[in-house]
Amino acid sequence: QVQLQESGPGLVKPSQTLSLTCTVSGGSIISDDSYWSWIRQYPGKGLEWIGDIYYSGSTHYNPSLKSRPSISLDTSKNQFSLKMNSVTAADTAVYYCAIRRRVKTDYFDSWGQGILVTVSS
């Protein structure tokens, strides 16, 4: 059973860059049926898909977020990361990393426990 664990700062100042890492254990990030994803959940409970990355390095992002997010992976550490620039209070949320299955299907079947990121000065 693949497990995911988010890490990173819980407090980010407005206009700065949010940086989070997801460590994958129990399986390899080099997997042909897995897209490594970031999702966030606002305090009011709504969920938003941020984007994902395939082991080849191919990325896809939620078009509503414009060019703010950037997802990368480090196969040597079995990790993938999220950076989001120019954050505001509206980016305050619980951030989850998850595995998105997308080969002739589409769903998230493994999630990390989530990490609360607060944007405040």
Residues that bind other proteins (CB under 8 A): 45-49, 60, 62-63, 96, 98, 100, 105-109, 111-114
| Least distance (Å) between residue 77 CB and other proteins | 22
Rank residues 12 and 51 by Cβ distance to other proteins and give the closer one.
51
Separation CA 9–CA 3 (nearest Å): 20
CB atoms within 10 A of CB 104: 6
How many secondary structure helices (H) and strands (E) does the chain include?
0, 11
CB atoms within 10 A of CB 87: 18
| Least distance (Å) between residue 101 CB and other proteins | 8
Rank residues 3 and 75 by Cβ distance to other proteins and give the closer one.
3
| Least distance (Å) between residue 16 CB and other proteins | 26
The residue count of the chain comes to: 121
What are phi and psi for residue 32, nearest 5 degrees? -80, -5
Rank residues 29 and 96 by Cβ distance to other proteins and give the closer one.
96
